[in-house]
Amino acid sequence: MTATPYAQVLFAGPDLLDGSFAELFRGRLVELRGAAALADIVDTGAGHDGLWQRVGDGSGPLLVIDLEPQSSSQHVDWLRAELAAKTDRERVFVTSLFGQLDADAAGAACALIERPELHLGCVDVPALPGSHAWSKVPAHEYRVLLCNGPRCTRRGALGLWKMLREKVKAAGRLECDGGVHITRTQCQFPCDQGPTLSVYPPGHWYQVRSEADVVRLVDEQLVAGRPVPELMMQRP
């Protein structure tokens, strides 16, 4: 790879220290940038304090590569704004895979280093509007929380999330009066019974492991208002 204008490049995201994704990512990173690059990995699974510290301790131009699996333009703007508040905003740049992570995420991340046209500065980050539709509590009767933590994701939670949203929308119940507000969460527990889906009110915790489970839950609990005992998690 060609030389870059950065004094340092940091790879920031969750699950970069342990697990199969971390194993693949770290091995590939060593292939591409040498063993010393392992020191440039910042795991944000428990929060971003470690990243803020690394950025604050350094000097010279810095590139932060965002490896958040659920990243979006809003997440990247948040990251840029936080970095601008914690260090010299003129020296820090951010780029992202926008959640498009696969087995060669390290290769894709390293390729971004050579794409300066995709690097965003931390100066003049777009401010949040003072009032907007998404700044209000959405109209709803039920609030549904579907776990997208690492263990539920391995059991298919991401695909079930997409189907859940599609089914609720098709039923005409997405974020409306008498409808449903859906949120993805990190780990809710209990992982061994997941994927975990909780509904408030009435506070039921469900195990959804198939598309059929999602369809039944939408039809019975969220549309007809009837609990589905067969899908409820066992409590001690």
Q: Are residues 20 and 97 in the same domain?
A: yes
What is the domain count for the chain?
2
Q: Residue 128 falls within a domain, yes or no?
A: no
* Domain limit, last residue, from 121, 148, 175: 121
Q: Residue 235 falls within a domain, yes or no?
A: no
Question: Residue 130 has what pLDDT?
Answer: 66
Q: Are residues 98 and 61 in the same domain?
A: yes
Q: Are residues 84 and 156 in the same domain?
A: no
Please tell me the distance from the alpha carbon of residue 129 to that of residue 136, in angstroms, as a whole number. 12
Give all strands (DSSP E) within the chain, no chain letters.
8-13, 41-43, 62-66, 92-96, 120-121, 142-147, 180-185, 196-200, 204-207
Q: Residue 126 falls within a domain, yes or no?
A: no
Q: Residue 1 falls within a domain, yes or no?
A: no
Q: Are residues 49 and 100 in the same domain?
A: yes
* Domain limit, last residue, from 86, 121, 156: 121
Question: Residue 133 has what pLDDT?
Answer: 61
Q: What are the φ/ψ torsions at residue 165 (nearest 5 degrees)?
A: -65, -40
- Whether residue 236 is preceded by a cis peptide bond, meaning omega within 30 degrees of 0, is no
Looking up residue 212, the CATH number of its domain turns out to be: 3.40.30.10
Q: Are residues 153 and 95 in the same domain?
A: no
* Domain limit, last residue, from 121, 149, 172: 121
194-220: pLDDT as tens digits: 999 999 999 999 999 999 999 999 999
Q: Are residues 194 and 94 in the same domain?
A: no
Question: Residue 1 has what pLDDT?
Answer: 42
The whole domain housing 116 covers 8-121
56-81: pLDDT as tens digits: 887 899 999 999 987 888 889 999 99
Question: Residue 134 has what pLDDT?
Answer: 59
Q: Are residues 76 and 144 in the same domain?
A: no
Q: Are residues 102 and 13 in the same domain?
A: yes
Tokens, residue 113 = 């280093």
Q: Are residues 110 and 39 in the same domain?
A: yes
How many other β-carbons are positioned within 10 Å of the β-carbon of residue 42? Answer: 21
Looking up residue 12, the CATH number of its domain turns out to be: 3.40.50
Strand partners, 42: 12
Q: What does pTM read for this prediction? A: 0.65
Q: What average pLDDT values come out for the chain (236 residues) when binned by 10 residues?
A: 77 91 95 97 91 90 93 89 93 94 93 96 83 74 92 88 93 93 91 94 95 97 96 85
Q: Residue 129 falls within a domain, yes or no?
A: no
Q: Are residues 115 and 153 in the same domain?
A: no
Q: Residue 132 falls within a domain, yes or no?
A: no
Please tell me the distance from the alpha carbon of residue 163 to that of residue 105, in angstroms, as a whole number. 26
Going across the sheet that includes 41-43, the strands are: 41-43, 8-13, 62-66, 92-96, 120-121
